[in-house]
Structure 1
Amino acid sequence: MYQPPHFREEDLGVQHALIRAHPLGLLITAGATGLMANSVPFHLDAAASEKGILRLHLAKANPQWRDIEAGADVLAVFQGADAYITPSWYQTKQETGKVVPTWNYAIVQVRGKARVIDDAAWLLAQINAITTQQEGPRDRPWAVGDAPDDFIRAQLKGIIGVEIEIAAIEGKWKVSQNRPVADREGVAAGLGEGAGQADMVDLVRRYGGLTEK
């Protein structure tokens, strides 16, 4: 990933937090069948290794797992908050006019050694973990045990597990840090006028030194 120094986020805890907040990642492989990408939910076990372990499952009908089993290179991408940034929000536009549009975003990319796991107990544990992760905040969370046992056993026969021990992890928080302070303030104010941009406003303000990080 292209990484200008001022956008680099190297704090493992911050990187892990983005993965947990945005667990639907893009699983990319380069194997014998060529490049392949699938969106899948991941569960992160941060304590399982130095940088953490990612666990997921794929449909057995999905050929991607066979490439992984054969040793394909694996890349997982997790996209956090993002927003289009208009030059109209920059003070610099008023001063010189020398501005262009851009896009702000936070993203994490993970590489590691992946292995395929075809084990019902492992799969059940993975399904329980990702379900608890997503259902936990609900007032009346659904649990895997709410479904009939024979139904769950039948579902497990149709999937296969994948585990990725994280060997390399990169974070990129491109959130207007390269702009003058007045421009950062304009971006935060402009984003604040729209709906659904609270996360990006917070990132612009914290990483831009407008509030405590």
Structure 2
Amino acid sequence: MYGPSAFDEIRPSLLHGLIDAHPLGTIITHGDGGLDANHIPFEIDAGDENAPFGILRAHVARANPLWRHEGETLVVFQGPSAYITPALYEDKKINGKVVPTYNYAVVHAHGTLRAIEDPAWILALLGRLTARHEAAQAAPWSLEDAPSDFIDRLVTMIVGIEIPVERMHGKWKVSQNRSQNDQRTIESAMDAPMAQAMQRRSA
């Protein structure tokens, strides 16, 4: 991923935080048919001492050939993004030498995919994902709300995937290359997710 050093981000806390907040990853593989991309919600486990960059976990339908992939994978996580109008820059009034741009935050995670068919592992993953994504609901749904034989049958129809992350790189293009005054003006004009991304990057 190209990026001037000012936009590079390698702090695990920020990288893992973006994945946790924006878990839908685009997983890119290359096989006999060429490049392929799948879109899957992941969880990131940052607590495994054998994987200093974390472990990504998810599941796919057994009919999806992704779980049979052998070799390196790239998972891209897209955080907040926003169009930046030149009207927000001081130089707009001074000399007019400004152009539009886009602010965004992304994480690229590289690793080798491995498939997991253990029903207990898959069931535990489903429980964690469900609890996490249902937490904001007024009446959270859980696996126990469905008949056990129904869930057991579904578990046989999916396969777990796990990607120990070998390399992780982030890019936070959030106006760091602008003056402090410009940064304050831009941050005040942004919605909450982008404003928070700017604040976290500068912390």
Q: TM-score range by the shorter chain?
A: over 0.9
Cα pair 1:115 1:164 within 8 Å, conserved: yes
Work out the CA distance in 2 between the residues paired with 1:87 and 1:47. 42
Counterparts of 1:3-14 in structure 2, within 5 Å, are 3-14=3-14
Cα pair 1:184 1:205 within 8 Å, conserved: no
Question: 2:52 maps to what in 1?
Answer: 50
Partner of 1:97: helix, strand, or coil? coil
Aligned positions, number: 201
Q: TM-score, normalised by structure 2?
A: 0.92
Cα pair 1:75 1:110 within 8 Å, conserved: yes
RMSD: 1.5
Work out the CA distance in 2 between the residues paired with 1:94 and 1:188. 19
Counterparts of 1:79-90 in structure 2, within 5 Å, are 79-90=78-89
The superposition leaves residues 88-116 of structure 1 with CA deviations (integer Å, 9 ceiling, x where unpaired) of 11111111111111110111110012111
Question: 2:18 maps to what in 1?
Answer: 18
Give the drift of 1:73. 2.1
Work out the CA distance in 1 between the residues paired with 2:163 and 2:122. 14
Identity of aligned residues (%): 46
Work out the CA distance in 2 between the residues paired with 1:206 and 1:162. 30
Work out the CA distance in 1 between the residues paired with 2:90 and 2:60. 48
Partner of 1:176: helix, strand, or coil? coil
Cα pair 2:116 2:162 within 8 Å, conserved: yes
Counterparts of 1:1-213 in structure 2, within 5 Å, are 1-48=1-48, 49-66=51-68, 68=69, 71-191=70-190, 197-205=191-199, 207=201, 213=203
The superposition leaves residues 158-205 of structure 1 with CA deviations (integer Å, 9 ceiling, x where unpaired) of 2111100011111111100001222222212332xxxxx112123335
For 1:15, the aligned partner's letter is L
The answer for unaligned runs of 5 or more in structure 1 is 192-196
The answer for unaligned runs of 5 or more in structure 2 is none
Work out the CA distance in 1 between the residues paired with 2:169 and 2:28. 15
